[in-house]
Amino acid sequence: MGVKVSKLSHIDDHNRPNMVDVSNKTATLREAHARSVVNLPDAVLAALDGDEIDSKKGPVFATAIIAGVMAAKKTHELIPFCHPLGLETCNVSIAVNGDRAVIDCHCKVTHKTGVEMEALTGASVAALTVYDMCKALSHDIVIGDTRLIMKTGGKEDFRSGE
């Protein structure tokens, strides 16, 4: 049968999971932007006052922004093979567009590895926080599209076809 060699970066020559060795890479400025979309039912939209929803738990979007930044900073504790990164900036923003909350997470670091997972984690946890804080109003909240919008600074840049 022989040894199967994988082309996946987190699998070694013996098909065992491992952390990618970045010791020989050059530290460069790395940026990533991820987005999550939360579909808000009428009961949640009715609680919207300006650009914020005040729930029994407090201000929903302000809390979700804090949760998203905290999660991005702790990505290496949640995703097994992510390298710990000292993010230089992480910005989470939330905009209501019709019946959707659009959550954007932008991360930046000068390092040997990228920040895509940090941006995706930040956007995802912010979306989960919106759900958690609004579930008393409705369980019909749907966390939808979560995706990488852009990354720069590594081997190759990426931009989605939004």
Q: 75-91 pLDDT, tens per residue? A: 999 998 899 999 999 99
Domain that holds residue 43: 28-159
Q: What's the domain count of the chain?
A: 1
Is 9 inside a domain boundary?
A: no
Phi then psi for residue 71, to 5 deg, are -65, -45
Is the pTM higher than 0.85? The answer reads yes
Q: Is 21 a catalytic residue?
A: no
Question: pLDDT-based confidence at 15, cuts 50/70/90?
Answer: confident
CATH code for the domain of 138: 3.30.70.640
User: Given this model, what pLDDT does residue 145 score?
Assistant: 95
Q: What pLDDT score does 13 carry?
A: 78
Examine residue 70 and state whether it is found in any structural domain, yes or no. Answer: yes
Residue located via tokens 């990228």? 114
pLDDT of residue 49: 93
In this structure, is residue 151 part of a structural domain? yes
Q: Which of 12, 42, 51, 132 is catalytic?
A: 132
